[in-house]
Amino acid sequence: MLVLLAAFAAAQYPPLYAVPPEDPQWTALYGAGVSNTAPRPQGSVPNDWSGAVLRCSSASDWGLTYDDGPSTLTPKLLSALKQKGLKTTFFVVGSRVAENRQILREAYNDGHQIGIHTWSHPYLSSIPTGQVISEIMWTARIIKDTIGVVPKFMRPPYGDMDARVNQIIRNMGLTPVIWSKDSGDSGANPNNVVANFRGWMGQKSADISLEHDLFAVQVDQAVSVLDLVQAGGYTVRPVAQCLGMSLSQAYSRDITRGPPLSVPQQIVTSTTTATTTHSSTSATAAPTTVESLAAKPSATAAANSADRLQALGLLSILLL
């Protein structure tokens, strides 16, 4: 019965690890004023990181961030973080949340910040506007269904964010987070992470670092660097807190209302142009923000939402 129920609940979301189809009503809400720039071949578009968060606000703070989970290996990292009393940020993939919802709950309940990292991890600049929106919206929805809050921070996969994608993210009321230090754990030499961190110690440059919690070598390296960062005299914080905000400001608890999160201007970057290498104009404001993701979905999506609530009710009965 539990297997059938899990399959039923999974059917309320798009296919895992595939770019979700466009929802015309979502596109109408969040595609307003977006340039007509066509999708480009993946990895070929100059990045527009203007307004993105790359660093903390205090030189002695360090924002440890992990992408691509939650995976079955994430609990090992969570255990190490708990043992050392550290709070960090996890940018999660919606498809993996669908497979590991209890692990996401554990990360959230442990006090770590949860952010959006899209549904299927594509190069966002390579897909149409409507599908960019769906990638973000479905991830926001499954996070909300799992932990009861909607993140206001997101990280585009591979740091791939051209002007069009940047504008979409802004229309959705989200704050993009990139990084100032790439650990290299998704590159050709993933075992060099500890050496990379050791070389960064002493810089005190308010860094936000990029790591992953998907593969064993990545998690092992992530655990190994924790003592280095602590011994270096840094204060490890979730991204929201290293920007001087409270952790509660990283979320909305109601998906139908709430203003966009405003990041202090001294923390955001100026316009940055670069070509994406990581292996892992003025926008017209949309009438609502990502917190309204369930306010006006298509009729099919609305029916799916009702079915999902029914499934969750059945699950509650089974677990009594």
Residues 239 and 150: their CA atoms lie apart, in Å, by 16
Supply angle C-alpha 156, 88, 113, rounded to 5: 65
Q: Which residue has the tokens 């039923």?
A: 8
Beta strands in 135-276 (DSSP E): 150-151, 153-154, 175-176, 181-182, 208-212, 235-236, 251-252, 273-275
Active-site residue, 212 included: yes
Residue 283, C-beta contacts closer than 8 angstroms, at least 6 positions apart: 32, 33, 34, 167, 170, 171
- CA dist., res. 225 & res. 195, Å (int): 9
Q: Among the options 23, 48, 67, 207, which is catalytic?
A: 67
Measure the CA dihedral 233/245/98/294, to 10°: -170
As a whole number of Å, the CA-based R_g of the chain is 19
Report, in this order, helix, strand and coil percent for the chain, each rounded to 5: 40, 15, 45
Known active-site residue 67: yes
**H/E stretch holding 194:** helix 193-200
Cα separation, 61 vs 55, whole angstroms: 9
* C-alpha dist (Å) from residue 311 to 3, 66, 96, 100: 12, 31, 19, 17
Q: Which of 112, 117, 121, 212 is catalytic?
A: 212
Please identify every residue annotated as catalytic: 67, 212
